[in-house]
Every structure is written in C-alpha cells, then in structure tokens.
Structure 1
Amino acid sequence: MDDEDGRTQPGADAPDGHQESAVEKVVAALLSSGVDGLGPFKGARQVAEEHLAQHGDAEKAIERVIATHTRLVAATGFATGFGGPLTMPVTIPTDVAVFYALSARCVAAVAHLRGYDIDSDEVRSVVLLSLLGAGGVTLAAEFGAALGTKAALSVLRKLPGRTLMEINKKVGFRLFTKFGTKGVINLGRWVPLVGAGVGAGVNAAAMRATGRYAEHNFPQG
C-alpha cells in the first residue's frame, strides 16, 4: 500500500497465495467492466464517443466526461452512505467497487479521446496505474516509464507481456488492500445522512483527482 506521498510501503507488492486470485479478479473486473463495458454498463469508448458527439471538441468532451463521472460517484457515495452502520458491511464494498469501475471507465474514456488505443495492453496498464494517483506514477517509474510523457507508452510497449501482467497485479493488490482501509471515511458513515454527505464528498474529490491523473498520464499528441 502507498503512503500519502505515493511511496511504496514495505511488503505492499507481495500478495500471498490466498490473495493472488482475488487480486487477479479485481484487475479483470476493472478492465472488463470499466473499460469494455458490461451489460447495461457502457464501456469507455461508447461514453467517450457520446460526449464527443455532444460537445464536438475532444478536450471539452474530456472535461465533461470527468464532470459526469464525478457526479455519478458522488451519487453512489451518497446512496451507500445513507443507511448508517446497519448497511455498512454491504454498502462500503459496493461503493468501492462501483467507484473503481467508474474511475477506470473515466480514465479510459480520456485516453480514447486523446487518441490512444484502449484495446492495447500498455494503455490498459496505464489506465490501471492512473487509479493509484501518485502511487501509479511511482510504480511506473520503477519500470523505467515516466507517466505523463509519450515515451512512457513506448517503454511499456517494449516490456514482456508477463511484466505488464506483473504491473497490473501490483496495481490490483494496492486497490484490493484499499477495500479495507477506509477507516476515517467509515467513521463518518456511522451516522445516517451525515455518512451520506461524507461518502458523496469523498468520492467526488477522489474522482476529480483521478481525472487529473488521466489527463496527465495520457498527454495530448
């Protein structure tokens, strides 16, 4: 897990055998639902194209994609925080899962609007890295990729497939550990209505930050 300045804490990248399968499922779910779409949940490409058709300009569409996803996670944060302690065991995991699926879709939509191939393995790895914020930048640097530059994708493209899979697993493990580390937020959610407001505010702030990292990690050509 990362500390506040994005540095890796000891042991953060070493999931044991019991966690490995769960981590792989987290990564697969984020890519399949968040990037590709699943059932009624639209994929990143469709969302991006809808915003582009509506606004006519890629950068304006990006702005609106981030704003739309910020509203969506604020709404889910409010809804899952509404019930207080009786519903927390169910609603907190749901809120986190929905947040990261929407975050992955938001990042991938930004990538698509900037002209990146969101079907490529290296772009998908950067989508996942973007979900970690500063921690993703630090992790990519460990593999010689400076996120925020065009060269970053070239570096990742040259890595063996197994190395990209390892990067994805590291991201998945860090996200997986966050599912149980919402302590401060959870304390606020013990009070119905107050908890709803906390959930909405935290989710909205986190999505805006994710949007900024998406714009940084997928620079304009």
Structure 2
Amino acid sequence: MEATELWDKTLNAAIKLPFVRISRNDFLTKELQPYCTPEQIELALGDSPIKVLSKKQIDKIANGCISYHTTIVCATSALSGLPGGWFMAATVPADIAQFYGHVLALIQKLLYLYGWADFRDEKRKLNDEMANTLTLFVGVMMGSRGAIQGINALTKALAGQAVKRIPQIGLTKFGFYNVAKQIGKWIGIKLTKDSFAKGVGKAIPLVGAPVSAALTYWTFKPMATKLKKYLDSQL
C-alpha cells in the first residue's frame, strides 16, 4: 500500500471500533462531577471546561486519561507480534487498529477537556471531515511540525469563530483538506518505517510479550504527552 492509503485504511479501521466514539457531554459530565457544581457542569458543556476548572484540575483529568489509555493499550499488547511487512497486506491488523483507536479516543477526550466541540456528527458518527481533523492531531502526537503548523493556521483562520466549533465546520471549507492529506501521507511513511521495530517482539520467545509491552508504552505515552503539551501551550 502507498503511504496515504496505509494511513487511510488504519484510520478507517480504528474509527470503526466502538470505544472510539466518545460523547463529549457524557465524558465531561463524568470527569467534572468531582470538581464542579451542576451549574458549573452546564456551563462547561455549553462553553468550555476551561471556564470552570483550574489548570491543576485540567492537568489531573488529562493525566488520568493518558494513564488509562496507556494502561489499556499495554495490557492488550497493542502492536504485539506484528510481522515486519504488515503494511503490505490488504487489511490493517487488529493490534494496529486497537492502538490507533486508543490514540483517537484520547485525542477526543483531551480536546473536549480543553474546550473543543463534539467530533461526532448529528448521527453520532465520526465523518470524513472530522477524521481529517483527527489526522492533524495524530500528526501533532507524532511530532510533525507540519501538523502543528496546520492546526495553528486553522485556528488562526477561524479566529473570528469559536475554536471549539472547528470539528463541525470542516477543513475543506477553509482549504486545509490538502494539509490533512499531506500529514496522512507523512504518518503512513512513518508507520512503514517503524513497523519492523514494532514486530521484533514476536521473534524473541518468552521475551516477546514484555518487549512488545515496552515498545507500546514508549510509543503511546510520548505521543500522548506531546498532545497535552501542545494543548497546554494554547491556554
């Protein structure tokens, strides 16, 4: 598969997983209850959690989300035992889909916490427009300067509108569709290059599982930390 096609297939496979569809209202209501009154929660849902939470509280909730998804990813041995040439296959392996499913779920949770709108459309699905926005944030998590520049340019272009509405507005209208596709291609190339290292665990009997868990941890945790650091910088 070509790099762009590889990421598109990976993204589509991950989005289909049930746990990837995060309800903004349900998530925020649950996370804010220990800190906020019902009136404050209503304000957060209608506007932004930043209006009612301190920086310390935002950090605590965000770090809790990161720890939860990191633990689940490692426990399920995401990226475990993958053959080095998986990207040549017609379908995306379940472990890869699971890994990026947790990436997408965490992106949504952190963005909701930092004031973004629900990424799901009126049918409670993640459509193509919103998938493109998520692609840019996956790029941020993987250290792409182009993705950071794309998000920064997009928020600047929409300066007159609420940033939290970006997922519902769509990228095509503002000329950022091609940027998302370029980042998708970059991610696909990176997936191809990194896949061999991720498959090493299977080649080592008995040691394979812990090696795979370690590789997963040192892949997922830094990605999550990069996204949180970026969102903190936007406060």
In structure 2, what is the equivalent of residue 176 of structure 1?
188
After superposition, what is the alpha-carbon deviation per residue over 1:21-69, rounded to whole angstroms, capped at 9, x for unaligned?
5544444455x44xxxx43555263455434446764331111000001
Preserved CA contact (<8 Å) 2:73 2:99: yes
Mapping 1:1-221, distance limit 5 Å: 23-30=7-14, 32-33=15-16, 38-39=17-18, 43=22, 45=24, 46-47=26-27, 49-53=29-33, 57-77=57-77, 80-81=80-81, 93-119=93-119, 125=132, 127-132=134-139, 133=141, 135-141=143-149, 143=150, 146=152, 153-155=155-157, 160-161=172-173, 163-181=175-193, 182-219=195-232, 221=235
> Which residue identity does 2:99 align to in structure 1?
F
Preserved CA contact (<8 Å) 2:20 2:101: no
What is the TM-score of this pair, normalised by structure 2? 0.61
What is the TM-score of this pair, normalised by structure 1? 0.64
Preserved CA contact (<8 Å) 1:77 1:199: yes
Preserved CA contact (<8 Å) 2:20 2:104: no
> Which residue identity does 1:72 align to in structure 2?
I
* Two-structure CA RMSD over aligned residues (Å): 3.9
> Which residue identity does 2:177 align to in structure 1?
M
After superposition, what is the alpha-carbon deviation per residue over 1:134-172, rounded to whole angstroms, capped at 9, x for unaligned?
54333443x5x54xxxx7623376975373322222233
Sequence identity (%): 21
Structure 2 gap segments, 5+ residues each: 37-56, 121-127, 159-165
Preserved CA contact (<8 Å) 1:80 1:196: yes
> Which residue identity does 1:130 align to in structure 2?
F
Preserved CA contact (<8 Å) 1:111 1:118: no
Preserved CA contact (<8 Å) 2:108 2:119: no
Preserved CA contact (<8 Å) 1:48 1:113: yes
Preserved CA contact (<8 Å) 1:130 1:210: no
Preserved CA contact (<8 Å) 2:65 2:106: yes
Structure 1 gap segments, 5+ residues each: 1-14
Q: Distance in 2 between matches of 1:79 and 1:173?
A: 20
Rg: which structure is higher? 2
Residues 25 and 191 (structure 1), Cα distance of their counterparts in 2 relative to 1, 3 Å cut:
closer
Which deviates further from its counterpart, 56-65 or 132-141?
132-141
> Which residue identity does 1:185 align to in structure 2?
K
